[in-house]
Structure 1
Amino acid sequence: MSASAPPAGPRPSGGPAAASAAPAARPGRRGPSAAIAVGGGALALAAVVLLHLAHGRGGVGLGDLPALIAGDEHVRAVLLGGRLPRTLAGVVAGAAFAVSGALLQSAVRNPLAAPDTLGVTAGGYLAMVAATVTGLSFGDLPRGAIAFLGGLAAAAVVHAVAGGRNDSSHLVLAGVSVSLALSSVSALLVMLFEAETGAVFFWGHGSLAVADTDRSLTALPLLAVGLAGGLLLARGLDILGTGDDTARGLGVPVGRLRAGAVLLSVLLAAGAVAVTGPIGFIGLAAPHIVRLCGVRRHLLLLPAAALWGAGLLLAADLLARVTSPTGNEVPAGVVAALFGAPLFLVLARRLPVEPVAPGTAAPTRRGRRVPLGPVVAGGAILLGVLLAAGLLAGDVAVPPGELVALATGNGGDLARTVVAEYRLPRLLVAALAGAMLAVAGGIVQTVARNPMADLTVMGVSGGAGFGAALVLVALPMVPYAVLPVAAFAGAAAAFATAYGLSRRGGSVAPERLVLVGIGMFALTTAATNYLVTGAQFRTAQALRWLSGSTYARDTTDLLVLGVTTALAAVPLAVALRRIDLLALGEDTPRTLGLPLERTRLWVLALAVALAASAVAMVGTVAFVGLVAPHAARMLTGSRAHRLLPVAGLFGAALMVVADTVGRTVIAPAEIPSGLLAAVIGTPYFAWRLRRDRKG
């Protein structure tokens, strides 16, 4: 199941050695034959199809097949009218996702590549949601073509954000970051246009309950075209696995081959999304199962992956209906992620990582760095202006004169009630939470030496969300004050697990920690979605909290965050020089006498404590810890004593803007500030990374 490094010798170009998507069998051990892989996939698919058709309401099972043949209308309606469309959708979509993942893994030579990890499914889903809510007419253009355009655009964005690099940490982090951004935009559209989107939230997690025979039959030609195209590229993909230089030497047009495989992959993923919605990890797991059986050549790999992918998706749907915690149906995509995320963890843990070059987490331009004093002063002034604007704006407009009067102690009842008791505490909570997330993100980016590393996509926020959701669903009568404690415990457990799984040979490579953290993020997010979508209690509150919200935050929450910030100030000041040393790589800190592993652990633990405290108060907020440190680094450089204060100011400003806009745009209703923070910050993040790569 793990990806193996190539033989010793010159490393082929076009990506690190660790990025090979076709791990070789262990020396001296032969895997099962290709016939067993294909035959086993066919038998497994046949068995799960029968079980899938047999399960359901209506009192009809496989024993009623003779009645179907005899023309029983009730049996015919249940099996052919109700269950067969769902089964057909699972077969078509599962096969399409699996072949799509196999093509992507081979094209970029990355074993962690899949339609969901590289943003393709999220892009296709966003395109379909946007078409639904805007009412744009696409004429005869089918919904699969709309998803194809969205998926293709998302793949292009991921490539641009990753800077064309195929190494696992950069490519997958770029894919996860773009997926988070696109998912946030989709969630925002669903929230703003609830009447137009209907039950799209449930479908957005990937569900066979929305199966439609016509859509499945329409997607069949796409599956056939994608599979046939992949088989035509099979020989070239086999050679590409040996490296770009070798492939070029043998006459393979590497650029055209890779582009063709990616286009076919996006086409297949788009067709599957049009049938079932976005479903993750099928495209990751099915090709690895086939490779584990000893199949390497794509002429057999692609058809076998299609069989296993169809069986895996049907099995996930069957488990979703059988094991729902409350009897409510859980989307198949949630269960697929719940069982697929551990596979990602195993692959990430065993993957030989490419060491990141020592230095800054992102490029900086010498000669253009702004002095720290003016930057801090300007950031503080900007934050003050944004806070004042947030106090005035909202469902109830407050005249500026009332704000001045309140500041001088002469404010009226309106100013005291709306501003002092309601808006000011929540804005200050938003500012502190944003600053803590930004500082934590700056620490992680510097230690991991990766500009896309963040505790949100490394499992900490996901663990906090799972801890809170577990309390809300399993213990609905527990006081709300327990929620932050559960969130903090979940975040700490997620980080401890990720750190422990990342240890190999007595040390933790930052690159592996990032990849394992992504797996933890996927696992905890899937577990949270499983609880929330199947829950009958306080679901709306859970969804609001999981989207990141400062709603109803008061002086008590502000006091908790204030105390946490004060307690963290001293160890953070002590850690500044050590953070700079950790950014220099592995050898230099050891040469200077720094206990590398112990220092890295406690510095990261400090970042986790900051992020977990913020998440416990305002919920899961993505991208503040990504965007704010990156923007600060462009102005101040990478030294921690300059970077972290400015990042904190930028993070606070971003959260204040998100809170103000969120409670103003559709007042008296609110948009969760976490969604808006992602929507506001992500375009800047992608643009800066693209610009830095060009520079």
Structure 2
Amino acid sequence: MRWHLRGLVVLGGALVLLCGVVVLHVGQGSSGIGLGELGALLTGDADAGVRDIFVGSRLPRLLTGLVAGAALAASGALAQAVTRNPLAAPETLGVNAGGYLAVVVVAAFGINLGGFASAGLATLGGLIAAVGVWALAGRRGLVVGGRVLLAGAAITMALMSLATLMLVWFERSTQGLFFWGNGSIAAIDSTRAIQMGGAVLFICVLIAFLIRPLDVLSIGDEGARALGANVTVVKLAALGLAVLLAASAVTVAGPIAFVGVVSPVTIRMLGVHRHALLLPSAMIIGAALLLAADVVARSFLRSASAGELPAGVITAVVGAPVFILLARRIRFGNVDDQAAIGARRRLPFPVVAAAGVGLLIVTVLAGLKIGDVSVSWSEIGNWLRGMETSVVDRRFGRLAVAAVAGACLAVAGVAVQAVVHNPIAEPSIIGVTGGASVGAVASLMLAPHAPGWVLPLAALAGGIAATLLLLLAAGRWTGGSGGRRDGRTRRLSWPPAGLTLDPTRVVLVGIGVGALCTAIVAVLAMQAQLAVNRALTWLAGSTYGRGLDDLQWLIVPVAVGVVLVVVGRSLDLLAYGEDTPRALGLGLGRARLSVLMCGAVMAAGAASVVGTVGFVGLVAPHSARALVGPSHRRLIPVAALFGAVLVVAADVVGRTVLAPREIPVGLVVALVGAPYLAWLLRRSSRRGAS
């Protein structure tokens, strides 16, 4: 019964922690009313003003934090029990994103729903997302490596892209949902929190019937069946209840990240594994974590007039490093297991290259003509003959930047995939673009009136820093010829001779790095009162206002791309695992490090000019590889052409669909890239099943 005693001690400690956080949370506020005045409520001596502030402001916020934190923690605990994966949680399985999109869609069309109706809608969205993740992961995806987490990342990216697009299209009716989308417990009244609290309590009663089956599942499916458990029914029931809990949290507080990961893992690290005590302890820790995050968030911006920092940002800042550490510790497989991203050469390179150039020319001509101002073909012809036409000049500068940036992003994707050997790896997914965002927004906040060259350099530095963090967290390093290793001492020469990257681990660590960067950007953007609009426009990925002068910031990324073409044969060797490249004289660790840093320079350089544009490094390389094969001397030029075409086309669509309003080019590309990512995962799951 030692486990029982330990569990009770942990449960008691969690309750003490929650009580302390509740006291801090209730005593905090902008009205100047402290715990002394609030304490008078218990004796009935408080005046009406104190009672109104407590009932109208602090109590709703407290209840919202308790309900949302407990629900997210319980949801994460159930998901981790089913998948036997400590990284599984509502945000990593797409449930939060599904519920958030459902709420945004209803708000966009001006439909006002009550508490339970909103919860039902969020539940439906979460269920659809969960089914999508299950379908992408395959039949064995829930228990095989990190496939379910990769599928969850794909679904989350797709749904969040759609939600952002709805926010742009229906700006008036969805006003305030962007802020709420970061996760906030700033409730207006207690009604919805009480309603959802009752729903969470009812779900907990249902969970009580699954406690023993969940304990049995921990020994494995076969062992559980041998003990008489209906594994399929238990998993479906647990996942269904996890979705209901996550939907309840989304309804009251929006999509809050990492509470569902950190809380159950914390309890397990304290030695509690039986669900009878793990679940209540995790729920208490989840509530305490969310309330503590809200205390920190309000303290952080207490003197600022820009608004209030969402509590979900703080949970992401705390939870993302924990997610990265967990992803680093889990074993998913070795580098050769998922290295099949090559393709057989199908079409002659000159034919494909000529077709790509022709397609790019056609797309640019369409971009010159189409827009909120009509341009005739004769005007375009006059411009081609050297006559000055202001509208065409502006459009051409913008399209030129889009083309070069798209080419750089595509080649960066080729470089990342060559090193990582994961078909879904690309700069935005592994966090490189997020690091560039941190650098750019930091420059906007710290030096809003600085010269134009400051932002590109800051973005470049941020992207490189994010790449180094990724390598340190996801890579396994071995020393070079100067290295020495004995029983207790391990010394590594620099640069290291060996760098091994697990394909799944890199993507999952990259997701954590990206989430951390997003949270930091939110903090910086909230502080940058004078530059917040510019920062948010840049983060959406936009070519608005770009011209030929901006091409100077892409000179270095283009030069790096040319170097990658020159060393294309060495890139080809990276596809042959560990032994063959070394036998042919390639310094594998140095080569991987160099190529990955080249990809980071190209992606960050492009992001410094056009902002956060994802999925180009995913769609363009795969399309090119399917046509010309895996040889990098053919692959890189064709991928660059396809990337240029994709971003130019996205720019044309974004500025014509809602003209004179514009849809950021990053959102347009995401509408293509997110489904493409889902298709890649589905195809890989079918191959794994066969």
Q: Same fold judged by TM-score > 0.5? A: yes
Matches within 5 A, 1:240-251: 240-251=217-228
**Matched residue, 1:603:** 595
Contact 1:361 1:638 (8 Å CA) reproduced: no
- Find out whether 1:301 has 2:278 as its counterpart: yes
Match of 2:611 in 1: 619
1:510 pairs with 2:485: no
Equivalent in the alignment of 1:48 = 21
Distance 2:587 2:173 in 1: 57
1:346 positional shift: 1.5
Query: Are 1:682 and 2:679 matched, yes or no?
Result: no
The structural deviation recorded for 1:136 is 5.5
Give how far 1:148 is off.
1.1
Aligned partner of 1:492 in structure 2 is 464
Change in CA separation of 1:481 and 1:333 when aligned onto 2, cut-off 3 Å: same
In structure 1, what is the equivalent of residue 50 of structure 2? 75
Tell me if the contact between 1:107 and 1:237 (Cα under 8 Å) persists in the aligned partners.
Answer: yes
Residue 479 of structure 1 deviates from its aligned partner by 2.6
Deviations 1:376-430 (A, max 9, x none): 2222222221111111111111112221232233x4x5xx20112x111111111
Corresponding position: 1:204 with 2:196: no
- Cα deviation for residue 53 of structure 1 reads 0.7
Task: Give 1:379's aligned amino acid.
Answer: G
Q: How many residues align?
A: 659
Deviations 1:302-343 (A, max 9, x none): 111100000000000110000127353100111110111111
Residue 125 of structure 1, aligned match among 86, 94, 100: 100
**Distance in 2, Cα, partners of 1:638 & 1:228:** 55
2:309 to 313, 316, 330: 330
Aligned-pair CA distance for 1:32: 8.7
Distance 1:606 1:145 in 2: 47
1:6 corresponds to: none
* Sequence identity (%): 48
Partner of 2:576: helix, strand, or coil? Answer: coil
Partner of 1:24: none
Deviation per CA, 1:652-675: give whole Å up to 9, x if none. Answer: 111111111111122222221111
Question: What aligned pairs does 1:108-187 form with structure 2 within 5 A after superposition?
Answer: 108-135=83-110, 142-164=117-139, 165-166=141-142, 167-187=144-164
Structure 2: distance between partners of 1:168 and 1:530 = 33
Contact 1:127–1:146, Cα closer than 8 Å, also in 2: yes
**Letter in structure 2 aligned against 1:657:** A
Could you say which residue in structure 1 is the equivalent of 2:30?
Answer: 57
| Corresponding position: 1:229 with 2:202 | no
User: What's the counterpart of residue 87 of structure 1?
Assistant: 62
Given the superposition, is the C-alpha separation of residues 393 and 582 from structure 1 closer, same or farther in structure 2, using an over 3 Å criterion?
same
- C-alpha spacing 1:645/1:505, structure 2 compared with 1 (3 Å): closer
Task: Tell me how far 1:554 sits from its aligned partner.
Answer: 1.2
Which of 413, 416, 428 is the equivalent residue of 1:456?
428
Question: 103-112 or 60-69, which moves further after superposition?
Answer: 60-69
Cα displacement (A) at 1:586: 2.8
Query: 5+ residue gaps in structure 1?
Result: 1-28
From the superposition, tell whether residues 143 and 461 of structure 1 become closer, same or farther in structure 2 (CA, over 3 Å): same
In the alignment, what sits opposite 2:384? 407
CA contact (8 A) 1:436 1:614 kept: yes
Q: 1:390 aligns with which of 348, 362, 367?
A: 367
Residue of structure 2 equivalent to 1:636: 628
Is it true that 1:536 corresponds to 2:529 in the alignment?
Answer: yes
User: Quick check: 1:98–1:306 contact (8 Å CA) kept in 2?
Assistant: yes
In structure 2, what is the Cα distance between the partners aligned to 1:636 and 1:255? 44
- The answer to whether the Cα contact below 8 Å between 1:444 and 1:604 also exists between their aligned partners in 2 is yes
Q: Mean alpha-carbon deviation: is it higher for 93-102 or for 50-59?
A: 50-59
Higher deviation after alignment, 59-68 or 185-194: 59-68
1:110 to partner: Cα distance = 1.4
After superposition, the Cα gap between the structure-2 partners of 1:53 and 1:628, relative to the gap in structure 1 and judged at 3 Å, is same
Displacement after TM superposition at 1:142 (Å): 0.6
Asked whether the equivalents of residues 361 and 446 of structure 1 are also in contact (C-alpha less than 8 Å), the reply is no
Contact 1:448 1:583 in 2 (8 A): no
- CA RMSD, 1 decimal: 2.3
1:59 maps to amino acid: G
Q: State the AA in 1 paired with 2:21.
A: V
> Which residue of structure 1 lines up, in the alignment, with residue 519 of structure 2?
526
- Contact 1:358 1:449 (C-alpha < 8 Å) held by counterparts: no
In the aligned structure 1, how far is the partner of 2:433 from the partner of 2:592? 20
Instruction: Choose which of 643, 647, 656 in structure 2 pairs with 1:655.
Output: 647
Within 2, Cα distance between the matches of 1:588 and 1:677? 37
- Secondary structure of the residue that 1:508 maps to in structure 2? strand
Q: Which moved more, 1:448-457 or 1:471-480?
A: 471-480
- Please state whether the residue corresponding to 1:445 is helix, strand or coil: helix
Change (3 A) 1:332 1:596: same
Relative to structure 1, the CA distance from residue 693 to residue 211 in structure 2 (aligned partners, 3 Å threshold; closer, same or farther) is same
- How far did 1:168 drift? 4.8
Structure 2 residues without counterparts, runs of 5 or longer: 479-498
Q: Which amino acid aligns with 1:150?
A: G
Aligned partner of 2:484 in structure 1 is none
> Contact between 1:127 and 1:147, CA under 8 Å: does it hold in 2?
yes
Q: Distance in 2 between matches of 1:395 and 1:145?
A: 41
Q: Please list the CA deviations of residues 233-279 of structure 1 after superposition, one character each: whole Å capped at 9, or x if unmatched.
A: 22222222222232233332222222222111111111100001110
> Would the aligned equivalents of 1:92 and 1:223 in 2 still touch at CA under 8 Å?
yes
- Residue 346 of structure 1: aligned partner: 325
2:437 touches 2:612 (CA, 8 Å); kept in 1? Answer: yes
C-alpha separation in 2, matches of 1:73 and 1:252: 57
In structure 1, how many angstroms separate the alpha carbons of the residues matched to 2:628 and 2:221?
39
Which stretch shows the higher mean deviation, 552-561 or 93-102? Answer: 552-561
The alignment partner of 1:458 has SS state of coil
TM-score by length of 2: 0.91
8 Å CA contact 1:361, 1:445 repeated in 2: no
Provide the C-alpha distance between the structure 2 equivalents of 1:96 and 1:102, rounded to a whole number of angstroms: 10
2:489 alignment counterpart: none
Answer yes or no: is the 8 Å Cα contact 2:456–2:553 preserved in 1: no
Give the 3 Å change call, closer, same or farther, for CA 169–645 of structure 1 in structure 2: farther
What is the rounded CA distance, in whole Å, between the counterparts of 1:346 and 1:565 in structure 2?
Answer: 31
